[in-house]
Amino acid sequence: QSVLTQPPSASGTPGQRVTISCSGSSSNIGSYTVNWYQQLPGTAPKLLIYSNDHRPSGVPDRFSGSQSGTSASLAISGLQSEDEADYYCSAWDDSLDGPVFGGGTKLTVL
């Protein structure tokens, strides 16, 4: 059972916009910024979004993040086949006194 809750799966067709939610509590998302990671099949996770809504250099602007209260969302617009991956949210957690991750969402491009 992960501290941050994500839907196990999401899907969309090419060109569509999809969103992935991440729900937490006042001890994590409610107090700290959220980061998102993309894990392509068979590879290590890669930082996709940091500090709620910032993209590292090289990440397409099709990817965007937002945070409100104790929840956060990752949005992917203009969905492409290469976006098929697992996506994880993360935030600092005061109860753990360390970083926590969501359980991950497997995105399928139909």
Partner 1 sequence: QVQLQESGPGLVEPSQTLSLTCTVSGGSISSYNYYWSWIRQHPGKGLEWIAYIYYSGATNYNPSLKSRVAISVDTSKSQFSLKLSSVTAADTAVYYCARLFGDRSCKFDPWGQGTLVTVSS
**Chain contacts with partner 1 (rule: CB under 8 A):** 2, 32-35, 37, 43-47, 50-51, 56, 88, 90-92, 96-104
Q: Closest separation between CB of residue 108 and partner 1, Å?
A: 16
Nearest residue (CB) to partner 1, 12 versus 103: 103
The CA distance from 41 to 67, in Å, is 27
DSSP 3: S
The CA distance from 29 to 22, in Å, is 9
Nearest residue (CB) to partner 1, 25 versus 32: 32
Q: Closest separation between CB of residue 27 and partner 1, Å?
A: 12
Q: What does the block give as tokens for 90?
A: 């993360």
The CA distance from 41 to 109, in Å, is 13
Q: Closest separation between CB of residue 101 and partner 1, Å?
A: 4
Q: Closest separation between CB of residue 102 and partner 1, Å?
A: 7
The CA distance from 4 to 2, in Å, is 5
Nearest residue (CB) to partner 1, 26 versus 51: 51
Q: What does the block give as tokens for 89?
A: 């949210």
